[in-house]
Structure formats: structure tokens, C-alpha cells
Amino acid sequence: MDWKNLLTKTPYLVLFIVLISIGIDQDIFAQSEIVIEGRFNVLEIIYENKTISYEYFISTQEEDKIKYTILDFEKTVSYLHELAGKYVRVTAHQKPDSLAPASISNLEKLEVISIIPLKDDKKNLTEEIAAAEMAPASLNSATLLNKFFNDTTEPHTKTYFENRFYSDPDSLAAYWADVSYDQFIFTGSVNGWLELPKTKSEYGVGGFSFHESVMKDIIPLHDPFVDFTNVELLLLVYNDHMPCGCAMATFFSQPVLTEEGVKDLLILHLPDTGDGFAVGLLSQNGIGTPAHEVGHTLGLFHNALPPPSTGFN
């Protein structure tokens, strides 16, 4: 064997092997990497034991078709919440093991590698309020009351919600007028109890998956009775605990298809369980959780203390 010859060639052999392995790595990377652009949103989930978790999604819109994609992050970063409402470019891997409930079609789940903000068209209500020297900022809402299929209970009446959310001296609307020195006007109306086409369990225990599947039924159900033209926020009330044992809210509006066209809507999901959480009088006069979530839609975040998981801060 010509040892001298082999030794001089070894570095080339090593380099060759390294180049091949880099090439293979890049091939695998390129095949599984997805780049998607859309509007980033945060779904806050408040459990009945007052702990909080988050799910993230982006919405992409092509003509009158809207697609939602769930984003998975290894850990929660507070900065993510500030991205709510911004258009972002997401580089991600497909999650092959993520199975959406059967009721949800085309709901993709991605594992995020990087997320970059592209532009910000967020309606910043706190800035509007600060700039409102002549006219106060306002937010118009619609409260839609929903009975799960085959469940006839109506824990509170339509009038109760009209009073607690909009017209009582200590209503949700009065709270926001009070704390904003009349610079933020919260308005709205209530559409009475209507029966959903599915039972509670058929909507699944998930956060975003429940949100997405129930929205598909609620809008067509109430659309004949509600003009969504000037609606900016939906308070969706259910006649029982939600399957997740929680209430939920989006941090920013999402495009929703209605008879009045595609509307950007902020969405709150609120269980009506009778006296207690989330809209009963024994649960902070029935307005604590709705007020907290409306605060997020104004661009307000949790206080540092006490930690977000310990209650309504």
C-alpha cells in the first residue's frame, strides 16, 4: 500500500464526505420547510379554575375563501402577543402527528421555526382613544346566544344580557365608559337563544379547534337576524360550560364570512353556567371575564404582577 499517497488524499476524502452530508441535510430541510404569510392572532383560553393558556394561528384570505393555520411554538414568548394583528411570514415544519377533529377540514398545524412581522394594519384602539380629542373611540358588538343541540336550557334571558352588557348603570358598557373617562364607548345588541346543529361534545374539547368549528355554525345561524355591517366584536354565549371548561377570546380580529361580506371580527366565547363563571352575577357581576377580554382587544396586556395565571389582572 502506498501510505504516502493515501495520506495526501485523506483530506479530500473527508471534504467529499462532509459535502455529501451537507447536501443531504439541505435536501431534507428544503422538503419539509414551509413558508406561509398571513395575519397572526392569539387565542386566550381562560379555564374555570382561572389558569390561562394560549393558542396561536394565522389567517390567510384568497378572494372570499379564508384559511386558518394553527401555529405551534416550543415555549410561550410574551413578544408573540404583541404580534397579534400583524401580517407575518412564518417559516415552519408540518406537524404530521397533529390530527384535527373530524368536524374540521383543512385545518393545518405547523411547528414554527421563525416568525417575522411584515406589516402592521392593526386597529390600535388605545392610540385612537389617546388621539380622540373631538370624538371618543368606539367598539360596536353583537351578543349571540347559543344553545348546544338537544339542550333546551336558557340560563339567563336575552334581557339579562341586554342589561348586564349594555344598559345597566354597572354594565360592561358602563365599566368601559367609566375607566376611559368616556373616551371609549362600548355599544351593542343581543340576538336571542338559537339552537346549534351540534351537541356540545361534537364541537370537541380543543381551544382553536372548538373556536373554528363552532364559528362555522354560529354565523349562518344568526345571520338572518343580525346585520353584521357595523359589528366589530362578537360575544358568543353558550347555554352550558364549554367543552374545554373555559372561556376564550381572540387578541385581534379575524376575517369571517357573513351575508354582509367578509367582516373583521373580534371574538369572545363565554359559557353561561347560571350564577357563576363567566357571565353569572356571582362571577364579578357577570362582566369580569368579558371586560378582561375586551381589554385585550384594545391592545392591553396583563400586568406583570400578579402573574397572569393567578386571575383577572
The binding site for Zn ion (CB under 5 A) comprises: 44
Position of minimal CB gap to Zn ion: 44
The residue written with cell numbers 388605545 in the block is 126
Shortest distance (Å) from residue 41 CB to Zn ion: 14
Residues 6+ apart with CB under 8 A from 269: 210, 211, 214, 236, 238, 242, 247, 248, 249
Which of 42/265 has CB closer to Zn ion? 42
Between 246 and 265, CB nearer to Zn ion: 246
CB of 159 to Zn ion, least distance (A): 29
Gap between the Cα atoms of 65 and 109, Å rounded: 18
Distance (Å, whole) CA 165 – CA 167: 7
Cα Rg, the chain, nearest whole Å: 24
Least Å distance, CB 269 to Zn ion, is 13
Provide, rounded to whole angstroms, the least separation between the CB of residue 279 and Zn ion. Answer: 16
Which residue number, 257 or 291, has a Cβ lying nearer to Zn ion? 291
CA-based nearest residue to 70, from 29, 47, 28, 101: 101
Q: Which is it for the CA torsion 300, 306, 308, 313, positive or negative?
A: negative
Q: How far apart are CA 265 and CA 228, in angstroms?
A: 9
| Closer of 90 and 266 to Zn ion (Cβ) | 266
State in angstroms the smallest separation of the CB of 290 from Zn ion: 12
- Which CB atom, from 226 or from 249, has the smaller least distance to Zn ion? 249
